[in-house]
Amino acid sequence: MSDAQKIAIYPGTFDPMTLGHLDVLKTSAAIFDEVVVALLVNPEKKPLFCEEERLAMIEESIREVCIVNVRTISFDGLTVELARREKAIAIIRGLRLITDYEAEFGISFNNHVLDSGIYTVFIPPLQEHVHVSSSMIRELLSFGRTDLSKYVPQAALKYISAYEYKDLRNR
């Protein structure tokens, strides 16, 4: 067996970070020597939270649950290229529902074509968080719902409570 560190990439927009994301991250950190949470910065998307806020949310959430073998980065471009650059053997994808699998399977296949040495590992969140998504959180916020403690880590709540939502529906 190789002594090389087993590194995985966990990419996403994390807008905002959810308890489901944290579930997937905890499991990933238990499996791999190092997990790189890779914040996707896509100029085509208009995220609710800026890059710096999302990175801070992720980093503070990681500290809250004391995961030590995780680091964060921002990236744009192809995830498989980032995985190559980080010497990762796997790309982590969280799966909540069968519809997630259908979408992720095609991406996984394409990544395998681009680099057959990088695997996609699908990890579900805990059952109590399977219905939680960042888009659901943003929708709840757009209707003025701010008690989101069942859905997001404390660190994310701090950013959510500081946010001005008056223009949220116009985004």
Q: Could you report the per-residue pLDDT of 72-112, keeping only the tens digit for each?
A: 999 999 999 999 999 999 999 999 877 778 888 889 999 99
Q: What is the DSSP string of 28-88?
A: HHHHSSEEEEEEE--TTS--SS-HHHHHHHHHHHHHHTT--SEEEEEE-S-HHHHHHHTT-
Q: Does residue 1 have a pLDDT over 70?
A: no
Catalytically annotated residues: 21, 45, 96, 134
Quick: pLDDT tens for 102-115. 888 889 999 999 99
pTM above 0.75, yes or no: yes
Residue 128: pLDDT band by 50, 70, 90 thresholds? Answer: very high
Question: Which region among 66-70, 122-126, 145-149 has the lowest average model confidence (pLDDT)?
Answer: 145-149
Dist. CA 74–CA 94, nearest whole Å? 18
Helix (H) or strand (E) holding 8: strand 7-12
According to CATH, the superfamily of the domain at 7-164 is HUPs (3.40.50.620)
- In total, the chain counts a number of residues equal to 171
CB atoms within 10 A of CB 123: 17
Residue 166: pLDDT band by 50, 70, 90 thresholds? Answer: very low
Quick: pLDDT tens for 3-20. 789 999 999 999 999 999
Residue 142 three-state SS:
helix
Q: What is the mean pLDDT of the chain?
A: 90
Dist. CA 45–CA 61, nearest whole Å? 23
Q: Walk across the sheet containing 119-123 and list its strands.
A: 70-75, 34-40, 7-12, 90-94, 119-123
Which is more confidently placed, 56 or 170?
Answer: 56
- 166 alpha carbon, distance to own chain's centre: 26
